[in-house]
A = this chain, B = another copy of it.
């Protein structure tokens, strides 16, 4: 096994929708040369502008050390897969349809070296299943990022059954250079870690709503102002250590038997799918939106992303230097 993925490596991205473009930006600002393939003709037209706007957001957040244009000089976009031939790693970000991904992998494997790493951003299809499409399956793995990836630190690196662990470790190590806080999943668990945990919340929340014990608004308020007030600092298990283990154990004992074990799609979500609700995108969703409100939410999300990114950076994860890096109060 060779590869030598490093800071100077050229990296490829296939698929230039919202997620693919974001990944391109995240690589550019980390100093990589990027080769991007647009399998859809429309992406050739929309992606360059989108990438420029996203780089502008990075500039506003103070993430750039040079002008936007100098990053764009490091990027080639093409519909021709052959531009990927020099890439040490290629990230696939196309639609979640296995057959389409399969044809993309064939195109990539035909042009890159056998030891180049190939990653997928899938969150719907098991990595081990996609791996079957490869001539050299050991080089294939999953990468799950927060959106937009240039402004979030979350990253899960998922090994499939045949993934060579050395390749996964190389991506894990390089991810720190991308400004990420990666986790390396050695088993290909369905739904990854973060999704499974959040789906457990959705299952319980939807049942509370169905049984009229709470409203959508109540649940969201509780999360914004309760869980939201500590989660970014410490996650959920550290919270137990800070608040008192005995109380949690006591309540787990009484509450676990009362939690939802529902295994089917809740009626509310069925109804949403049937009415073709797309949330803020078509003003039909769990909440009601005017056009202005939908735009306000999207804009607020962009701004909040930057704010919470900056706030999280003030609290390093190592306890030895945990105190806020620049403290207004002097308590640090």
Interface string of A183-196 (1 = CB under 8 A from B): 10101011101111
A:17-73 near B, CB below 8 Å: 60
Interface string of A274-289 (1 = CB under 8 A from B): 0001111100011101
Complex partner residue of A231 from B146, B231, B299, CB under 8 angstroms: B231
A:51-105 near B, CB below 8 Å: 60, 96
Q: Say whether chain A's binding surface is mostly helix, strand, loop, or mixed.
A: helix
Indicate if A221 sits at the interface (CB-CB under 8 A): yes
Contacts of A204 in B (CB 8 A): 196-197, 199-200
Interface string of A314-332 (1 = CB under 8 A from B): 1101011011100111011
Indicate if A129 sits at the interface (CB-CB under 8 A): no
Per assembly, the copies of the chain total 2
Contacts of A243 in B (CB 8 A): 147, 279
Contact B253 A265 (CB under 8 A): yes
Q: A231-B227, A255-B190 are in contact. Are A242 and B301 (CB under 8 A)?
A: yes
Residue count of chain A within 8 Å CB distance of chain B? 130
Contacts of A289 in B (CB 8 A): 241, 319
Complex partner residue of A193 from B219, B277, B319, CB under 8 angstroms: B219
Indicate if A134 sits at the interface (CB-CB under 8 A): no
Contact A238 B304 (CB under 8 A): no
Contact A242 B280 (CB under 8 A): yes
A158 to chain B, nearest CB (A): 11
Complex partner residue of A269 from B245, B298, B322, CB under 8 angstroms: B245
A287 to chain B, nearest CB (A): 6
Contact A220 B198 (CB under 8 A): no
Q: A205-B237, A223-B235, A226-B146 are in contact. Are A246 and B296 (CB under 8 A)?
A: no
Given contacts A201-B201, A241-B285, A244-B278, 20 further A-B contacts (CB under 8 A): A153-B225, A153-B229, A154-B221, A154-B222, A181-B224, A189-B214, A191-B258, A194-B222, A198-B227, A199-B255, A205-B237, A222-B235, A230-B308, A232-B232, A233-B300, A237-B287, A238-B287, A241-B279, A244-B279, A299-B331
